[in-house]
Structures are given as C-alpha cells and as structure tokens.
Amino acid sequence: MKKYAYIRVSSKDQNIDRQVLAMEGIGLVKKQMIIDYQTGKDFNRQNYRKLVKKLKD
C-alpha cells in the first residue's frame, strides 16, 4: 500500500517544518508528501487535486 501525506499551510509565510518532521517521524520521505500553500476553503488547490488523482489511479 502506498502512503502519502497532505501538508497545507494558508500562505507562504507560514512554516511547514513541523508537519514535515511529523511525517518523517512516521517513516515518510519528502516525495510522499504533497504540499500546498493555499487556503483550506478552496478544494481547487493544485497539489490537492494531484493527490486525489493519485489515489484514484
């Protein structure tokens, strides 16, 4: 089974480091992490859509 992590912050000013460290702590590597820098109100986020597509394939 493939594993992915979805990491999102609302703006580029916010920091993803804690989320990345937490995912590394459970054994994931960067290429398994899908990262978006957009508001959570909009599901049209580019990398979110890529993740959904990966999960459907």
Catalytic: which of 2, 3, 5, 10? 10
Quick check: is 11 catalytic? no
Model confidence over 2-55: pLDDT tens digits?
Answer: 899 999 998 777 899 999 999 999 999 999 999 998 877 878 899 999 999 989
pLDDT given at position 39: 77
- 4 near 51, Cβ under 8 Å? yes
In whole angstroms, give the CA distance from residue 43 to residue 7. 14
pLDDT given at position 20: 97
pLDDT given at position 41: 80
Domain of 35, in residue numbers:
5-56
Domain count within the chain: 1
| Burial (0-12, 13-18, 19+ Cβ within 10 Å), 23 | buried
- 24 near 31, Cβ under 8 Å? no
